[in-house]
Structure 1
Amino acid sequence: MRREILPAGVALMLFGATDASAQALRSAQDTQIDLFVRNRAVAVRDRPQPTYDPLGVRAGGFTVFPRLQSGVVHDDNVFAAEDDPQTATTLRLTPEVVVRSQWSRHALETRVRADIDRNLDFDSENTIDWSLGGAGRLDIVRGADITLAADYARDHEPRTAAGADPAARRPIAFDMASASLAATRTQGRLRLSAKAAVLRYDYRDGLNDAGAVIEQDDRDRTVARLTGRADYALSPAAALFVQVARDDRDYRIVSGSPERSSSGHEALAGVDFELGALIRGGVAAGYIRQDFKDSAYGDLDGIGGRARLSWFPTQLTTLTATAGRSVEDTGVIGSAGALRTDLSIGVDHELLRNLILTAETAWSEDDYNGLDRTDTRFAASFSAIYRLDRRYGLTTGLTYLEQSSSGAAAGPTYRSTRLSIAVVSQF
C-alpha cells in the first residue's frame, strides 16, 4: 500500500489497486491461444520453486494462503527533511491472507492485508493501514472472458511521497475505493479488450506543528477511466496494438480553493514481442493530454508512452527495464497535476535455489502545471530473499532515495537511506 517511489515498488499507478486483483486471475484459456502468449522464458521471480513455494490450506474448491512478515526498518531521515534529518527505527508487522479458487473454469480470488508500523522514536509516525479486495473471472467461451475487480484501502501518504506536505505533524491519511470491469475477446489473430474503472479518494485533514488545520478536502476526487485496445498478431512471437483511453477526474469543490477537475485523453500504438527465450517486452508511444476546468492551471499535453523490456541472459538472471510518461494528480498547493516521466532498470539473480538477489535503480521527474516547479527523484536499492524452507524465510533490503526540486516554487530537497530486515512465515 506504500506510495513511495522506491525500486522495490514504484509509486502506485492509476488504477493499480484494482489491477492487482485482476492480474492474479490469468485465464487458463490464455495458455491455449499461442498467438498472444509470451512464455518462452520465465523470469527469476516468476519461476516456480516446488521445494519452497507454499502449499496453502485447501478448503473445498479454494486454497487459502496465509502470510505474516515481521521486521524492523531503520531510516536516517524519517521526516524526509532538507535540514536536520532525524533517524528512527520502526517495527513493522504485515499479515496477509489470499484465498484463490482451484476451478477448471472461471476464477475467484480475495485477499486482505494490513501494514502495522510502530516507530520507536516518534509516535507521530505510528500508522495502521489495511486493504481488502478481490477479483472474479467468468470464462464465457474459449477466447472470451469478463473480469470484475474491487478493492478498498485505508492508507496514508508517506513522508517521501511526491508532493507530500512537509509541514504535516502526522502523515496524511486517506481512504481509497476502486472497482473495474474488463472484457477480452480473441478470434484468430485479433484480440479486442475493453476496461472501465472507477477510483474514489477521500483524504483526511492534517495538522501542522502549531495545531493549524492543513486542508485536504480539495484533494478528494473520483476518477473514471475507459480504455479500449486492439491487438493483431503478426506471428506467435509478435503483435501490433493500438490503445485509446479517456479519464475524468472530478474533484470535490471547496470554498476558497481552485477547481482541480480535469479530463484526459491518451492514444498509443505499439508492439509486444518475444525474441526466442532471450528478450521479451512491449513498447508503446503516442500522445497524452489533460484539460483542466480552471484555465489558470493550463493544460498538460505531450508525448506519452510506456515500455517494459526483459532480458534473460541465463535462466538464473533477469534484467528488466521500464519507462513511462503519464499525467498524475498531485497534492501540491497551486497545482492540479504533473507530467511524470519514470525510468527504471533492475536485475534479479538466483544465486542459490533458495537465495534471490535484486538490484534496481529508478528515476522520475514531475513537471507541475500551474507552478514553476520540477521535482526529480532518484532511488537505488539492493535486496535479498532467502528461503529457509517452504514455510519460513528472511528478507533484507537497503534503499537510497534522493529528491531535488527546482523553480520559483521549488519543493523540499532531501536524501534518505533505509535498511530493513524481516522474517516471513507462510503456509
Structure 2
Amino acid sequence: MRDLMYPSLSPAIAQFKHISREQRERELSVRTRRSPQYDPNNIRLGELILAPSVTTFTRYSDNVYGQDDNTDGDVLFGIRPEVSIRSDLPLHQLNAKFFVEDGNYNKLKQEDYTDYGSEIGGRFDVYPGMAIPFALAYAQGHTRRDEPENRSSIDPTVFTVFGGGTGVRMSGDLIEVNGRTGFQTFKFDDTTSFAGGRIDNSFRDRTHFTNTVSVGFPQEAIVAPFVYGGYRTTTYDKESSGFSRDSRDIEGGVGSFFNLTRVSQSDFRIGYVDREFDDSSIDPVTALTYQLNFNWDATTLASFNLFGKREINETALDASSQIETSVGLGMLYELAPNILLKPELGYRTRDYQQSDLEIKAYTVDMQAIYKLNPNVWATLDYTGVSQEESGSTAIDTTDGYDENRLTLSLKFQL
C-alpha cells in the first residue's frame, strides 16, 4: 500500500507539518482524496472557482426502445459542455451550473435530442447559527424511450422543468430546525403517434408545491436524529380521461445523520405519506416511504455506498400514481492513483395504483475511469438492464425486456 501522507524524517531532525483532522481524513478516503497529478486545478476568479469541461461520448445500445422482440440497436454520438461555479468565502455560499448535451443517433435519427439546464443556489448566513438557503433551476430534458409512458410515439417526449425554493436553518448547540418551501413546474411537448396523429401531452403538465420542516440534533453531531413532516400539493393543468388527478400529500417520519468522520456522512429517514385526490372516484394512497444513503470507507482504497428510496411518483398511464422502490449497492475502488473502478448493482420496482401494472428492473453497472492527466479523463461504462413487466396499460403491453449499453467517453477539463 502506497504512502498517503507522512512527515518527512531525516537522521538529524524530524520535520513535522501540521495537518488538520479534516484534511487527513480527506487524504485517507478514496471518495475525497485529490491528486494534483491527475485532478483538475480549476480556474480561480477572485472568490469564485470555475470548473469548465467538455465531454464527448459514444454509446451503443442493443435495445433502444426497450422491446421484448423486434429490438433496435444503434450507436449514439454525444457531446456535453458544462461549467460549474462555486464560491470560496468564509461566509455565505454560491453555486451555479450550466450544461448542454446534444445526442445524435447513427440510424434512428428521430431519437436525436438536445438537453440543457442551468441552476443557481447557495446559502446566505444571517448570523452564526442561522442561514437562508436558496435555489433556482430550469432545464429541458427528454424521457427515456424504454419507459412504458413513452412507447406510443415515434419521437422522444421533450419536457421542461422550472423550480426553486428557499427556507431557513437555525442551529444551536443541542437542536437544529430546518424549514423549506419550494415549487416545480413541468411542461411536456406534444409528440407524433405511429399512426401519424398528434399526441396531446398537456395532460401531463403539472405544478408541485412542497413545504417541509424538521427538528433534531445539529447535523454535525456524530449521531443526529430528527423528526420531519411535510405537505405537498400537485395541480394538473387539465384532466386525464375525465379524471382530476390533483392531489395533496401529508408526510411524517423520523431519521438520523451519522458522521463517522468529518468527510463521510450517512443518513436515513423513514415515514408514511398519505395522498388524497380531489376526485372522489380515485382511491387515496397510503405508503411507507424511506430514503437511505450509507457510506463506508472500508480501506484507504475502497469505499462502499448503500442507497435506497421509496416514494410516490406521478404517472402518465391509466393509473392514479406509482409507488417506486429502489435499492442499490455501489463501490469505488482505486486500482492505481489514476485508475478508478465503480461497480454497482441496483433493483427497482414500480407498483401502479388502481392498475394491475407492476414493473421490476435489475441493473448492473461497471465503470472504469482512467485519468490520463488533470485535463483529460477517459471512462468506459457498461450497463445491463433486465426489466420484467406484468399486467397491462392503456398504452402498451409487454412482458419486459433486456438491454445492454456500452459507453466510451472522453472528458476535457480545466
TM-score, normalised by the number of residues in structure 2: 0.88
Bigger CA drift: 219-228 or 41-50?
41-50
Amino acid at match of 1:78: V
Structure 2 matches for 1:21-60, cutoff 5 A?
44-60=30-46
Larger radius of gyration: 2
Query: Is the 2:32–2:263 Cα contact (8 Å) retained in structure 1?
Result: no
Q: Which deviations, in whole Å up to 9, do the C-alpha atoms of 1:149-173 show, x marking residues without a partner?
A: 1010011101134x43212101100
Amino acid at match of 1:426: Q
The Cα shift of 1:297 comes to 2.8
Amino acid at match of 2:258: F
> Which of 142, 156, 179 is equivalent to 2:142?
156
Q: Which deviations, in whole Å up to 9, do the C-alpha atoms of 1:51-96 show, x marking residues without a partner?
A: 3222222223322221000010000001111211111001010100
1:330 equivalenced with 2:315 (yes/no)? yes
The DSSP-based 3-state class of the residue aligned with 2:110 is helix
RMSD: 2.3
Amino acid at match of 2:187: D
Name 1:64's counterpart in structure 2.
50
The DSSP-based 3-state class of the residue aligned with 2:307 is strand
| Counterparts of 2:411 and 2:219, CA distance in 1 | 44
Bigger CA drift: 207-216 or 127-136?
207-216
The Cα shift of 1:99 comes to 2.2
Identity of aligned residues (%): 23
1:395 equivalenced with 2:366 (yes/no)? no
The DSSP-based 3-state class of the residue aligned with 1:218 is helix
Bigger CA drift: 344-353 or 305-314?
305-314
Query: Is the 2:210–2:231 Cα contact (8 Å) retained in structure 1?
Result: yes
The Cα shift of 1:132 comes to 0.9
Query: Is the 2:27–2:33 Cα contact (8 Å) retained in structure 1?
Result: no
Amino acid at match of 1:172: T
| Counterparts of 1:183 and 1:117, CA distance in 2 | 40
| Counterparts of 1:90 and 1:354, CA distance in 2 | 27
The DSSP-based 3-state class of the residue aligned with 1:46 is coil
Asked which structure has the greater RCO (Cα within 8 Å, sep 6+), the reply is: 1
Structure 2 matches for 1:169-188, cutoff 5 A?
169-188=154-173
Bigger CA drift: 246-255 or 129-138?
246-255
Structure 2 matches for 1:189-208, cutoff 5 A?
189-208=174-193
Name 1:372's counterpart in structure 2.
356
Structure 2 matches for 1:221-232, cutoff 5 A?
221-232=206-217
Question: For structure 2, which runs of at least 5 residues remain unmatched after alignment?
Answer: 1-21
Amino acid at match of 1:311: W
Seen in structure 2, the aligned counterparts of structure 1 residues 308 and 255 have a Cα distance that, compared at 3 Å, is closer
> Which of 292, 296, 316 is equivalent to 2:301?
316
> Which of 368, 371, 377 is equivalent to 1:384?
368
Name 1:124's counterpart in structure 2.
110
Q: Which deviations, in whole Å up to 9, do the C-alpha atoms of 1:358-393 show, x marking residues without a partner?
A: 011111111111211111111110001111111111
Question: For structure 1, which runs of at least 5 residues remain unmatched after alignment?
Answer: 1-33
Q: Which deviations, in whole Å up to 9, do the C-alpha atoms of 1:188-238 show, x marking residues without a partner?
A: 111111111100000011111211122211110000111111122699421
The DSSP-based 3-state class of the residue aligned with 1:167 is coil
The DSSP-based 3-state class of the residue aligned with 2:217 is strand
Name 1:79's counterpart in structure 2.
65
| Counterparts of 2:300 and 2:279, CA distance in 1 | 53
Seen in structure 2, the aligned counterparts of structure 1 residues 61 and 311 have a Cα distance that, compared at 3 Å, is closer
Seen in structure 2, the aligned counterparts of structure 1 residues 292 and 46 have a Cα distance that, compared at 3 Å, is farther
Bigger CA drift: 117-126 or 255-264?
255-264
Amino acid at match of 1:48: R
Seen in structure 2, the aligned counterparts of structure 1 residues 397 and 171 have a Cα distance that, compared at 3 Å, is same
The Cα shift of 1:146 comes to 0.9
| Counterparts of 1:294 and 1:138, CA distance in 2 | 41
| Counterparts of 2:392 and 2:77, CA distance in 1 | 39
1:217 equivalenced with 2:165 (yes/no)? no
